[in-house]
């Protein structure tokens, strides 16, 4: 395949996802700076990408998605786990469940304590505030005029299940937390989502669409970046396959990788940046021997307690063909109805034991029972207490298995390789049962569907977890930020040992936040732009 050079630009941003769209938009605010944003997927011009409830259909169809699978997970009965990642303008912010969550301030203070100067919560907070618009929040902690709208459901509009979950959590001893994105997540809260006026607030919609008319911003879609071009230890461009043709795009200033926790380490490895033990067997010349590339993979493993209901108060009725058609029409015409929200209205953050000094379990109240990562609906009235360990200890890897850039890498999260993760999930099942046993559920509570009331022993609950647990789609850490020898990028997000190359996405997180990872990824992007601008002065 013949190569041809088609463009030169100041900055190349690889991956138009949660971080890449922000970086490209912010850098191109300077009319003297040219930016090329490259996305392997398409534009996402489909109502499912803007409709908050559209993520259910997107998950089922695999649209806008890399559709990865993990390697067989030993601790999960040898199952391969479906591992979706966004492949569309907006990346995973265009296909996810729209939960707006920062995690705990202590997550970021820990980043700084382990050597990442400038990444404490106090120093990250201005960037969380910059990206969001949440009118109800305390201005000390919340942004009121950022690009990404945030909505908290109003109690009177919530389902009977969600209202019961909030009341039952309080009856079980949890405090009501009016803002889980404030100083603590602890307690039960109305779950905030990144949708506003019934429209998903993806980074493509909120950062790129308003910037598309800028002459200094070029957005290239359906283009697979196959390698970073290095000359004398400096990143000078990328090689791209688009429309069956191989192209070279050169960067005068920097190449920025924003492919996420799977694609960024994959591209580094394909470019000769990584652990020699991973690269040399494939015949790849080692350009920068960074042993940490693809290591330190962390993710939130999720397990769901499924609870039957005695009344038709779940979302099950909305999954019937006529109801779905009516819901879709109501949304298309009036931006209202069940499709106008993400359906995740209430959640609780709890301690797995009295010895834990932070909320280490996150429990979503999901208004329907489903399996197979939401792709199969359980045809009974019910809901799920869907939970994960906020700070899992299990750590895995992402590693290429071939020099073919179109072939998925080996993704091995090593779920439950640390027994503490299993203990916390087991505790989460029991805490969820305690909440559901409260009086607030008396009028609608049926029999437990799964794991079932007979699953009482540790062994029974553990067996259920191993049989059913899945990712909740929060992979991070594979190009971790730090100052030790396992770090891939420094605290300025510059790839160690390579000039003019940065990674800006969830892969740089040294440890996983105690919540959903989309908002922390956006924060990293906002902060990174200031790091780039400061370096130019």
Per-residue pLDDT tens for 54-88? 988 898 888 999 999 999 999 999 999 999 999 99
In percent, how much of the chain has pLDDT > 70?
99
CA distance 192 to 198: 13
- Per-residue pLDDT, 203: 99
Mean pLDDT throughout 373-389?
95
- Per-residue pLDDT, 389: 99
Chain segment 269-309, per-residue pLDDT in tens: 999 999 999 999 999 999 999 999 999 999 999 999 999 99
Instruction: Give the confidence band of 537 by pLDDT, cuts at 50, 70, 90.
Output: low
Structure tokens at 30: 């300077």
Chain segment 302-356, per-residue pLDDT in tens: 999 999 999 999 999 988 888 888 888 899 888 988 889 998 999 999 999 999 9
What angle is formed at CA 98 by the lines to CA 25 and CA 187, rounded to 5 degrees?
125
Domain residue ranges in the chain: 154-190+301-391+417-468
Chain segment 172-186, per-residue pLDDT in tens: 999 999 999 999 999
Asked if 474 is an active-site residue, the reply is: yes
Q: Which residues are annotated as a binding site for FAD?
A: 88, 225
Does the pLDDT at position 233 exceed 90?
yes
CA distance 390 to 513: 7
Chain segment 3-20, per-residue pLDDT in tens: 676 789 999 999 999 999
Please, are residues 314 and 164 in contact by the beta-carbon 8 Å criterion? no
CATH architecture of 154-190+301-391+417-468: 2-Layer Sandwich (3.30)
Return the C-alpha torsion angle 329, 334, 336, 339, nearest 10: 30
- Per-residue pLDDT, 328: 83
Mean pLDDT throughout 482-502?
99
- Per-residue pLDDT, 164: 99
> Which one of the listed residues 300, 349, 389, 474 is annotated catalytic?
474
Quick one: 212 exposed, middle or buried, by C-beta within 10 A (0-12, 13-18, 19+)? exposed
Please, are residues 152 and 136 in contact by the beta-carbon 8 Å criterion? yes
Does the pLDDT at position 156 exceed 80?
yes
Instruction: Give the confidence band of 1 by pLDDT, cuts at 50, 70, 90.
Output: low
Mean pLDDT throughout 226-245?
97
Structure tokens at 480: 């971790």
- Per-residue pLDDT, 2: 61
């Amino acid at each position: 395949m013949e190569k041809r050079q088609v463009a030169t630009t100041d900055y190349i941003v690889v991956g138009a996802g949660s971080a890449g769209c922000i970086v490209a938009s912010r850098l191109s605010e300077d009319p003297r700076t040219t930016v090329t944003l490259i996305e392997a997927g398409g534009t996402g011009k489909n109502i499912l990408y803007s409709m908050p409830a559209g993520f259910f259909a997107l998950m089922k169809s695999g649209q806008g998605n890399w559709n990865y699978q993990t390697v067989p997970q030993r601790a999960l009965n040898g199952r391969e786990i479906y591992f979706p990642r966004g492949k569309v303008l907006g990346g995973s912010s265009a296909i996810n469940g729209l939960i707006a969550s920062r995690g705990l301030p202590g997550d970021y203070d820990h980043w700084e304590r382990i050597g990442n100067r400038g990444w404490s919560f106090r120093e990250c907070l201005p960037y969380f505030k910059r990206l969001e618009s949440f009118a109800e929040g305390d201005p000390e902690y919340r942004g009121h005029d950022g690009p990404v709208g945030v909505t908290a459901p109003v109690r009177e509009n919530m389902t009977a299940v969600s209202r019961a979950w909030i009341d039952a959590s309080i009856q079980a001893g949890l405090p009501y937390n009016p803002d889980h994105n404030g100083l603590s997540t602890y307690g039960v809260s109305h779950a905030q989502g990144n949708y506003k006026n019934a429209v998903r607030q993806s980074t493509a919609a909120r950062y790129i669409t308003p910037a598309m008319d800028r002459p200094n911003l070029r957005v290239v879609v359906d283009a697979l970046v196959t390698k970073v071009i290095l000359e004398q230890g400096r990143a000078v461009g990328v090689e791209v396959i688009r429309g069956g043709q191989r192209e070279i795009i050169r960067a005068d200033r920097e190449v920025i990788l924003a492919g996420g926790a799977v694609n960024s380490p994959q591209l580094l490895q394909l470019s000769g940046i990584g652990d020699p033990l991973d690269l040399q067997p494939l015949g790849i010349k080692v350009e920068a021997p960074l042993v940490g590339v693809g290591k330190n993979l962390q993710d939130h493993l999720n397990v769901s307690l499924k609870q039957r209901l005695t009344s038709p108060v779940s979302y099950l009725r909305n999954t019937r063909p006529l109801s779905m058609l009516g819901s879709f029409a109501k949304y298309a015409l009036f931006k209202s109805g069940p499709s106008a929200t993400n359906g995740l209205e209430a959640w609780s953050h709890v301690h797995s034991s009295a010895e834990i000094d932070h909320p280490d379990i996150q429990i979503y109240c999901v208004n329907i029972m489903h399996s197979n990562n939401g792709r199969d609906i359980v045809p009974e009235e019910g809901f799920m207490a869907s939970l994960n360990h906020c700070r899992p200890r299990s750590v895995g890897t992402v590693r290429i298995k071939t020099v073919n850039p179109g072939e998925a890498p080996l993704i091995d999260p090593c779920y439950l390789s640390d027994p503490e993760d299993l203990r916390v999930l087991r505790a989460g099942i029991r805490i969820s049962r305690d909440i559901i046993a409260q009086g607030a559920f008396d009028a609608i509570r049926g029999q437990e569907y799964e794991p079932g009331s007979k699953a009482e022993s540790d062994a029974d609950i553990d067996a259920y977890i191993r049989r059913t647990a899945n990712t909740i789609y929060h992979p991070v850490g594979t190009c971790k930020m730090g100052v030790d020898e396992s770090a891939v990028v420094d605290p300025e997000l510059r790839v160690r040992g390579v000039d003019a190359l940065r990674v800006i996405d969830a892969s740089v997180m040294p440890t996983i936040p105690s919540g959903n990872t989309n908002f922390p990824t956006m924060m990293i992007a906002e902060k990174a732009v200031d790091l780039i601008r400061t370096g130019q002065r």
